Chain A
Amino acid sequence: MKQAISVNVNGVDHRHEVEPRLLLVHYLRDVLALTGTHVGCETSICGACTVLIDGQAVKSCTMFAVQADGANITTIEGLAANGNLHPMQEGFWEKHGLQCGYCTPGMIITATQIVDRNPSPSREEIRHGLEGNLCRCTGYQHIVEAVEYAAKKAAKA
C-alpha cells in the first residue's frame, strides 16, 4: 500500500505516493532525480548519503521516505544560493578537499553542520565532527583545511 508524503526539498514542495519501504535516498535519487546524494554502504557508516532534514545532518540510506513526511530537506544540489557556491563548497574547491568526489556531497553537508554548531572549530573538533563520513581518497587533511576555510569565511561575512 503506497502512502502519500509531502516534503520540501531545496525549497520546492513535492507530493508523492511512495511504498512505505522506499528509502529516502532512493526517493531523492530515483523519484526527484536529485542524484547528487550518493549511496556508499547502505548501513549508515560512510555518510555519502548525508542530507539535512530540518537542519540536522541525517544519513538518508537508513531512513524511509515516509519518515521524512512534512520535512524540509536540503541536499547538495540546494546548497548553492543564487548561483553562488556555499562557503563550504568553495572551501572544498580551494583546498582540494576532494578527489573522486563520491563522498563529497555528504561530506560537505556534514561539514556545514559542524560550522553551524561551532563557528570556529579546532582541527580536532572538525575531525571529530567528520567521524561519520568516510573518504578513501584525500586522507582528510585537505577536508579539514576546507572546513577551516569555510568557517573563517563565514565568520567574516
Chain B
Amino acid sequence: MAKYVGQRIKRTEDPRLIKGLAHYVDDIRLPDTLHVAFVRSIYAHARISGIDATDALKAPGVVAVYTGKDIATAVGTVPCAAALPDLKVPEYRVLATGKALFVGHPIAAVVATDRYAAVDAAALISVDYEELPVVVDVEQAANGGDLVHESFGDNIAYKLTSGEGDIDAAMKSADKIVTQKMIHQRLAPIAMEPRGVLARYFPGEEELTLWSSTQIPHLMRTQVALMIGIAENKLRVITPEVGGGFGSKLNVYAEEALLGWISIQLGKPVKWIETRRENVQATIHGRAQVGTVEVGCKNDGTITGLRYNVFADLGAYHQLLTPAIPTLTGLMLSGAYRIPAIQMNVTGVFTNKMSTDAYRGAGRPEATYVVERAMDIVAAELKMDPVEVRRKNFPAASEFPFHTATGLDYDSGDYEGALAKALDISGYQNLRAEQERGRAAGKLIGIGMSSYVEICALGPSQAMPAGGWESATVRIEPTGKVTVMTGASPHGQGQETSFAQIAADELGVDLNDVTVIHGDTGIVQYGIGTFGSRATAVGGTAVLIAIQKLKEKAGKIAAHILQCETSGLCFEAGRYSRQDAAAAATGVSEPVVPVGEAPAGALPDPDTEGRKTLTIQEIALIAHIAKELPPDTEPGLSATYFFEPKNFTFPFGTHICVVEIDKETGETKFLRYVAVDDCGKVINPLLVDGQIHGGIVQSIGQALYEEVVYDEQGQLITGELMDYAIPRASQLPWFELDRTETPSPVNPLGVKGVGEAGTIGATPAIVNAIVDALSPYGVKHLDMPIRPENIWKILSQH
C-alpha cells in the first residue's frame, strides 16, 4: 500500500498561510514602488470626446497619466484564444479609445507615489462622455437591438450548431416532447483576493518581472510579451500566493500588460491592486445563457433526443476564452445518459457588459442544469419517479468507453453505482414517505437529485486553443532533497501537498524531503496552468512519469555501483538492492546530509564500497559528484516530462438534496445534502472533500443568492459584496459526502479531477428540490436565483 497517496495528509502549504506570513501580490513590497489607479467608464456605452488630466497631473505625488490616445498601439490588444468559424473579434485595446463599451471599461491610468494619491488624482480627471444607446438584454441584442460594435452591423459574434444524430427524426419518434426555457444568470467569480499586478523593469538588464495573481503564468508571459513587445525570455511572471481564481484568473487582462508597459516607461516598480468594485465591474463574469431545451421521450421514460437553442451573453469584448465557453455546454448535453440525437444551436451575442468567460465549471454547469432539470420535467410529465427516468437512460458500466451524440468518448463510469449509493445514504424511500407525511401536515418539503457527468483534465492538445499537456521536472539535489517543478499553477487546491505525496511514494522518500515549486516562469519549465480540473490528472501524471524517467537513470547508476544488471535490481522504499542480496528494505530513504550537519568538505563522500543496497538519495549524491558513473552517463539526477493526455476524463456522481420552504417567508432551508462523487483515484481525500464542499456552496450561491444585475442603462447594480450575495456559513447545510472510485484509463494515476464537480453537480439538485417542494402549487420550473421573494409571490397567490 502506498504510504502517502490515498491518505488524508494535512497540507504542507498551510503553516505560512495560517501564520499570516504568506505573500500575495499586494504583500510584496519593493522600494520606490509607484501605484496605479484607473479611471473607468461610468457609462455602459458612450463616446469619449475628451479627457482632461491637467488637474490630475498637478496633484501631489502624481508621476504620470496615460490615456488610450497616449498608448495608441504601443500595447497590443487583449488576446482571445478561442477560434470559431466566422467569429467576430472586436479590437480590445488596453485603454478605451474613442468609445467606452461597458461600465468599468478602463479609460485612463494614473501613476502616483502612493495608493491614496493615485486614487485622489484619478478623481480629478475629467472625461467628456456622449452617451450612446445601450443594449443589455441578450435576446434583444440578438434580435436587432442597438449595436455594441457599429462596424459589425449586428450583435451576433457567432452562430454554431453542434451535435450528432438525426434530431428531427428523434423528435418525431418521441411520444412526448417537453420544452422549457431556462435562464443561467450572470455570476461573478469573487475570488477573495481580487486581481493585482506588480511590475518591475530593470533597464540595464532589460528584464521585466510581473507578479500577478493568475492561474496561467506561462501563457500570460507569452501573451504579455507579445502585447508589449518584449522578448518572452526577458519577461518573468511570478504568481506568488493566489487568493482563489475559479477561472477568473485564467485570463490575460488589460491591466497586466499595461502595468508591465508602464514600468518600462518609468523604469520603476508599479503596482495595481484591484478594488472589489473594480473586481465586479472588470473581472470576467460567468454563465449568462438564456436557452430553451426540448426533450423528446417515450412513454416509458426513454429519451429519444435533446435540442438546446441558446443565446450566450458574451459581453462587449472577448477575453481569453469568452466565445469558447458555450461550446463546452454543447459537449456536455448528453449528461449521464444515452441520448441518440443531440443538437445545440448557440448564438454568441455582444452586449454592453463585462465579458463572460470561464467561471468554475465554465459551460458545463449550464449543460448539467439543462439536462438534469429536463430529466425532472420529463419525470413530472410522465408521472415517474425522477430516479427511474435517470436509471432508464444510464449507459451500463460495461458500455464504457461510451460514445455520446455530442462527439465525446466518456472514459469510464458507473452511474448506477453512484446513484445507488446516494439513494442508500439519503434513505430515499424514507425521504419520500416523510415528504408525504409532511405534505399532509402542510409542510413544503422537496427532494431533488442530480446525476451529473463533467469533462475534466483539459485536455488533449487537439481540443485546446494552445496546448493541453502539462509539464514536470523532478530533481534530486546532492543532499537528497527532492525538487518537483510543475507547470500547473495551483492557487488553493493544495498540489504542493498532493504532488509531494505522489513524488514521495514513487521515490520512497519522506514527504518532508519533497518541495513542490510552481508559478515562476524564471524557474519552472513551460507549463499550461491550473484550470478545468486538470492539475492533478495532467500535471500530476507529468510528475509521476518524470519520476519514472529519473528512476531509469538512477537504476543504471545503482546497477553500476552494485555490480549487477539493471534487471537484477529491485527498488523498494527508496532503496535499490540486488535481488540476490535479499536486503530487507523498510521505512523510507533518508537524506544523505541531515539538516544542520554540514560535512567537512563541499559534499560528503559517497560511501559505495562493497554496498548491497543504495538509496535513491545516495544515488543523487553520486550522480552529482560524478566520479563513479557508468560510462557515457550524464551527471546530475533530474528528469523533465511533458504529459499529453489522449482524452479528457469524465468524473460523475449523484447529489441528493432535501429542502423545506418556509410558508411565511418563502425562505429555502436545507434539511439534508448528500453527495456521492466519483473523481477516479483519490490522492488526498481531505483535499477532495474540500473541493466538493466549496463547489457545492458555489452552486448554492447560484441557485439561491447570486446574480450580477445590470439595469436597463447598463449600470451595474450589484457592484460590491453588499449587493452581490455570496453564501455565508449560517446559510448552509451539513454536507454528507461519500465516493465511488472508478479509475480513469486516460492516465496512469487513474485520477479524473474534482475541482468543479460540486459546482456542476449541485445546482440542479437544489432547484429540483425547490420545484419538487412547490409542485403542489403547480410549479414546474423556477429560474435562479430562487430568492425568498420569488417563492413568497407564488405562495401568496394561493
Contacts and interface: CB of A to CB of B under 8 A. Distances in A.
Contacts of B494: 99
Interface stretch (B16-24, B218-226, B375-383, B385-393): B16-24
Given A96-B10, A100-B243, A140-B697, A43 B720 contact: yes
B728 A138 contact: no
B721 A45 contact: yes
A54 interface: no
Interface stretch (B49-57, B187-195, B312-320, B324-332): B187-195
B730 interface: yes
B430 to A, nearest CB: 24
Pick the most buried of B14, B18, B246: most chain A CB atoms within 10 A of its CB: B18
Interface in A1-58: 19, 21-22, 26, 29, 33-43, 45-46, 48
Contacts of B694: 99, 136-139
B192 A96 contact: no
Interface string B173-210: 00000000000000000111110000000000000000
B246 A136 contact: yes
Contacts of B115: 26
A102 interface: yes
A59 B386 CA distance: 47
A90 B181 CA distance: 49
A33 B658 CA distance: 48
Contacts of B191: 100, 102, 136
A66 interface: no
Contacts, number: 174
Q: Give the interface size bracket for B toward A.
A: 35 or more
Interface in B653-700: 686-687, 689-690, 692-698
B11 interface: yes
B299 interface: no
B729 interface: yes
B19 A76 contact: yes
A144 to B, nearest CB: 7
A139 B18 contact: no
A85 B695 CA distance: 29
Contact of B20 (A42, A75, A94): A75
Contact of A102 (B192, B275, B729, B758): B192
Nearest to B733: A141
A58 to B, nearest CB: 16
Contacts of A89: 18-19
B669 to A, nearest CB: 12
Contacts of B732: 127, 139-141
A144 B729 contact: yes
Contact of B21 (A26, A36, A93, A136): A36
A142 B277 CA distance: 29
Contact of B734 (A75, A105, A141): A141
B20 A37 contact: yes
Interface of A: 19, 21-22, 26, 29, 33-43, 45-46, 48, 75-77, 79-80, 85, 89, 92-94, 96, 98-105, 108, 123-124, 126-128, 130-131, 133-144
Given A45-B720, A141-B693, 8 more contacts: A36-B19, A46-B276, A75-B20, A96-B686, A99-B244, A128-B730, A130-B729, A136-B190
